[in-house]
Amino acid sequence: MMIIKEPKELQQELKRRRFEAAKQGRELTVGLVPTMGYLHEGHASLIRKARANDVVVLSIFVNPIQFGPNEDLDRYPRDAARDLALAEKECVDIVFMPEVQHMYPQPTKTKIQVEGLTSSLCGASRPGHFDGVTTVVAKLFHITKPDFAYFGMKDAQQVAVLSQMVADLNMDVQLVPCPIVRESDGMALSSRNVYLNEEQRSQALVLSASLKEAYELVQEQKSTTAAELKKLLTERIEAKPLAEIDYVEVLTFPELEPISEQTRLSDYEGDIIAALAVKFGSTRLIDNMLFQKKDVALHV
Amino acid sequence: MMIIKEPKELQQELKRRRFEAAKQGRELTVGLVPTMGYLHEGHASLIRKARANDVVVLSIFVNPIQFGPNEDLDRYPRDAARDLALAEKECVDIVFMPEVQHMYPQPTKTKIQVEGLTSSLCGASRPGHFDGVTTVVAKLFHITKPDFAYFGMKDAQQVAVLSQMVADLNMDVQLVPCPIVRESDGMALSSRNVYLNEEQRSQALVLSASLKEAYELVQEQKSTTAAELKKLLTERIEAKPLAEIDYVEVLTFPELEPISEQTRLSDYEGDIIAALAVKFGSTRLIDNMLFQKKDVALHV
């Protein structure tokens, strides 16, 4: 496993490997798994998907420009040694692990903005967050030129925003959204779960539990409306004294547009997402459930 | 010469050619010349530079998103047949000539913005213009993946802005700024020159003439200040009754930052640009002169 810190070095290394393969008549495919490190089983599931490619590149970079001034950049959990051990175990070929000065040798004057999709959900709570995400992911794409890039559906809005960017800018990469990975009790895996104390973690189970209940309700009662779904989720979460709701939304996916409160979920033709962001103490957790027409909903 | 309209088709064609060359152990280089068509000798000079590459791609696309609502998008001059004849004569390999619906199958939600560099000069006069330029050039880069891309220095601010974008976003392309091409009487070539009537064109010569005078002044009198240069240019242009100044600026290049009025040009360590935008009737012309420390100034 190769560890690279310099963007130019990774760009050159992959160019060299592609050329060598082509000389032998093979088109090398590169799979990129962009992460902020502190890897867990969710990241591991992305890496395993990426193994369908000839070369798996795992990037580990806590991207400062996607954090707001009062967010958790400084205390975001890091453990390079453990991350590298996991990467090795999962057969990653190249770990790209730049420092901030490698990615931003000077403060970036260039930002990529996706309008509309970034104004709701986490975009509303975290102004500028998605500009930081799209900008760093575009950088990673330009450095790595992946054929496929793997993202977890826990950040469903991120998947929607990045898909729009890729389509709008004619980027030659295929995004692969991957299902949320959960603990056995339903808790969605997140590097930020480490912030929670025992009581907070116990109450935070309401996120996955209420989404599961919502999913089952829609399966059983075809007449369930968006408003009823939202009410159910809100009531369940509000019943937990440590929970402070940031948002509970039911939107179309991937457009992230509101649907009328009286719309029955079974009547709507496209996919619908129920998305939650809830604070426990100073820790903000997100989770979501996709209601897909083709019955491939990602079960809790 | 191949003519392609579909972004995906061009992407595939170039990928195929690169792979075929690599199979034979050759690294194919691609040179891109992005234009809005209505080609003139300035564009031809870019194409000739691009011939240093294995494949020359000329793009011809009047990009609607870089025009303001009251600008000349509708009347921008077009002549596809003449453009193709020039391209053929200059040995272009592939002409990429998409329609608006090929480049924007849906209105783009994604914009690339370069801060700072876009707030002065044409960026101040044409709000949103450079967002349109950076966005479409990024699209062209993603479609073509050029090794080198050629731009005329008449749009000096465009060169500065695109260089910043390429560096900030780790784009794997080398920008090649090329000297302004002029008529024998000094007039900088521009597709928009066709808008001028005889009297306007005659008076518009003041742009190149005053820049030449400014250049000679700085050569002769090392003590010339930025303020004196600006005054000279302004007076010469104001002496022409049909001229309406949009801006006359003396700035650092490529940072495009103001320099103090009393700075002697010969004392400043970096490069300096004198840049003009002047309207004649409804036609807005730009021109500029670079004062380079390494004595490779682009003579009028």
Q: Is B224 on the interface with A (CB under 8 A)?
A: no
B184 found inside a domain: no
Residue A288 tokens, joined:
């979501």
**Single residue among B178, B208, B227 that ends a domain in this structure:** B178
pLDDT, tens digit, for every residue of A12-68? 999 999 999 999 999 999 999 999 999 999 999 999 999 999 999 999 999 999 999
- Judgement on whether residues A17 and A69 belong to the same structural domain of the protein: yes
pLDDT, tens digit, for every residue of A177-208? 999 999 999 999 999 999 999 999 999 999 99
Handedness of CA B243, B247, B250, B252 (dihedral sign): negative
**What does the pLDDT read at residue A208?**
98
- CATH of residue B247: 3.30.1300.10
Q: How far is B158 from chain A (nearest CA, A)?
A: 14
When CB atoms are compared, the residue of B27, B112, B164 closest to A19 is B27
pLDDT, tens digit, for every residue of A204-244? 999 999 999 999 999 999 899 999 999 999 999 999 999 99
Window 129-148 of B, Cβ < 8 Å to A:
134-135, 138-139, 142-143, 145
The DSSP H or E segment spanning A219 is helix A198-220
- Judgement on whether residues B7 and B112 belong to the same structural domain of the protein: yes
Q: Is the pLDDT of residue B157 over 70?
A: yes
- Judgement on whether residues A22 and A141 belong to the same structural domain of the protein: yes
Cβ–Cβ below 8 Å for B169 and A134: no
- Judgement on whether residues A44 and A150 belong to the same structural domain of the protein: yes
* Strand bridging mode B30-35 / B148-152: parallel
pLDDT, tens digit, for every residue of B185-243? 999 999 999 999 999 999 999 999 999 999 999 999 989 999 999 999 999 999 999 99
Q: Is the peptide bond before B254 cis (omega within 30 degrees of 0)?
A: yes
- Judgement on whether residues A96 and A156 belong to the same structural domain of the protein: yes
Q: How far is B222 from chain A (nearest CA, A)?
A: 33
Question: Chain B partners of A143 at a C-beta cutoff of 8 Å?
Answer: 170, 172
Question: For residue A32, with 0-12 CB atoms within 10 Å meaning exposed, 13-18 middle and 19 or more buried, which class applies?
Answer: buried
**Catalytic choice (B43, B102, B129, B299):** B43
* Among A189, A61, A42, CA closest to A132: A61
Task: Find the mean pLDDT for residues A258-267.
Answer: 91
- How many independent structural domains does chain B possess? 2
| CB-based contacts of A277, cutoff 8 Å, min separation 6 | A121, A122, A125, A245, A246, A247, A284, A285, A286
B186 found inside a domain: no
Tell me the residue type at B55.
Answer: V
CB atoms under 10 Å from CB of A24, counted, come to 9
Helices (H), A242-299: none
| Residues of each annotated binding site of B for ATP | 36-43, 152-155, 181, 189-192
Residue span of the structural domain in which B70 resides: 2-178
B296 found inside a domain: no
pLDDT, tens digit, for every residue of B271-285? 999 999 999 999 999
- Judgement on whether residues B22 and B99 belong to the same structural domain of the protein: yes
When CB atoms are compared, the residue of B109, B112, B143 closest to A110 is B112
Helices (H), B24-76: 41-50
- Judgement on whether residues B7 and B156 belong to the same structural domain of the protein: yes
Q: Is the pLDDT of residue B300 over 60?
A: no
Percent of chain A surpassing pLDDT 90:
94
**What does the pLDDT read at residue B163?**
98
**What does the pLDDT read at residue A294?**
63
**Single residue among A178, A210, A227 that ends a domain in this structure:** A178
Query: How far apart, in Å, do the first and last CA atoms of chain A sit?
Result: 34
Residue B153 tokens, joined:
């220095």
When CB atoms are compared, the residue of B18, B143, B164 closest to A170 is B143
In angstroms, the CA A243 to CA A203 distance is: 7
The DSSP H or E segment spanning A144 is helix A129-144
In angstroms, the CA A100 to CA A139 distance is: 13
Percent of chain B surpassing pLDDT 90:
94
Instruction: Compute the C-alpha angle B258/B63/B50, nearest 5°.
Output: 80
- Judgement on whether residues A26 and A108 belong to the same structural domain of the protein: yes
- Judgement on whether residues B137 and B253 belong to the same structural domain of the protein: no
SS3 of residue B243 by DSSP: strand
**What does the pLDDT read at residue B295?**
52
In angstroms, the CA B286 to CA B248 distance is: 10
In angstroms, the CA A206 to CA B184 distance is: 77
φ/ψ of A170, rounded to 5, equals 55, 35
Q: Is the pLDDT of residue B75 over 70?
A: yes
**What does the pLDDT read at residue B181?**
98
**What does the pLDDT read at residue B293?**
78
**CB of B133 within 8 A of CB of B113?**
no
* Among A161, A128, A137, CA closest to B170: A137
In angstroms, the CA B194 to CA B76 distance is: 10
The alpha carbon of B82 is separated from its chain's Cα centroid by a whole number of angstroms, namely: 21
**CB of B56 within 8 A of CB of B33?**
yes
Q: Is the pLDDT of residue A298 over 90?
A: no
A125 found inside a domain: yes
Cβ–Cβ below 8 Å for A169 and B134: no
- Judgement on whether residues B43 and B169 belong to the same structural domain of the protein: yes
DSSP assignment letter at B66 = G
Residue B127 tokens, joined:
């709000």
A297 found inside a domain: no
Q: Is the peptide bond before A146 cis (omega within 30 degrees of 0)?
A: no
**CB of A263 within 8 A of CB of A226?**
yes
Task: Find the mean pLDDT for residues A119-124.
Answer: 95
- CATH of residue B10: 3.40.50.620
Percent of chain A surpassing pLDDT 70:
98
Task: Classify the complex by whether its ipTM is higher than 0.85, answering yes or no.
Answer: yes
A42 is in an annotated binding site: yes
In angstroms, the CA B36 to CA B59 distance is: 8
Determine the residue of chain B that is closest to A166 in CA distance.
Answer: B110
In angstroms, the CA B22 to CA B11 distance is: 17
Q: Rounded to the nearest 10 degrees, how much is the dihedral formed by the CA atoms of B156, B162, B166, B169?
A: 140
Is residue B102 annotated as part of the catalytic site, yes or no?
no
- Judgement on whether residues A171 and A211 belong to the same structural domain of the protein: no
In angstroms, the CA A7 to CA A97 distance is: 9
**Single residue among A144, A178, A212 that ends a domain in this structure:** A178
SS3 of residue B106 by DSSP: coil
In angstroms, the CA A178 to CA B162 distance is: 35
**CB of A137 within 8 A of CB of A119?**
no
A127 found inside a domain: yes
Q: Is the pLDDT of residue A300 over 60?
A: no
How many Cβ pairs closer than 8 A exist between chain A and B?
Answer: 86
**What does the pLDDT read at residue A266?**
87
Mean pLDDT of all residues belonging to chain B = 96
Q: How confident is the model at residue B175 (pLDDT cuts 50, 70, 90)?
A: very high
**What does the pLDDT read at residue A297?**
44
Residue A24 tokens, joined:
């032998």
Task: Find the mean pLDDT for residues A253-273.
Answer: 92
Residue whose token pair is 């870089």: B66
CB atoms under 10 Å from CB of B70, counted, come to 6
Number of helices and strands (H, E) in chain B? 9, 10
Number of residues that make up chain B: 300
A296 found inside a domain: no
| Residues of each annotated binding site of B | 36-43, 66, 152-155, 158, 181, 189-192
The DSSP H or E segment spanning B251 is strand B243-253
Q: Is the pLDDT of residue B296 over 80?
A: no
B161 found inside a domain: yes
**What does the pLDDT read at residue B299?**
43
Q: How confident is the model at residue A299 (pLDDT cuts 50, 70, 90)?
A: very low
Percent of chain B surpassing pLDDT 70:
98
Residue A122, CA atoms < 13 Å, CB-side half-sphere: 26
Task: Find the mean pLDDT for residues A270-291.
Answer: 97
Q: Is B23 on the interface with A (CB under 8 A)?
A: yes
Q: Is the pLDDT of residue B6 over 60?
A: yes
- Judgement on whether residues A159 and A229 belong to the same structural domain of the protein: no
Question: For residue A73, with 0-12 CB atoms within 10 Å meaning exposed, 13-18 middle and 19 or more buried, which class applies?
Answer: middle
**What does the pLDDT read at residue B294?**
64
Mean pLDDT of all residues belonging to chain A = 96
**What does the pLDDT read at residue B77?**
97
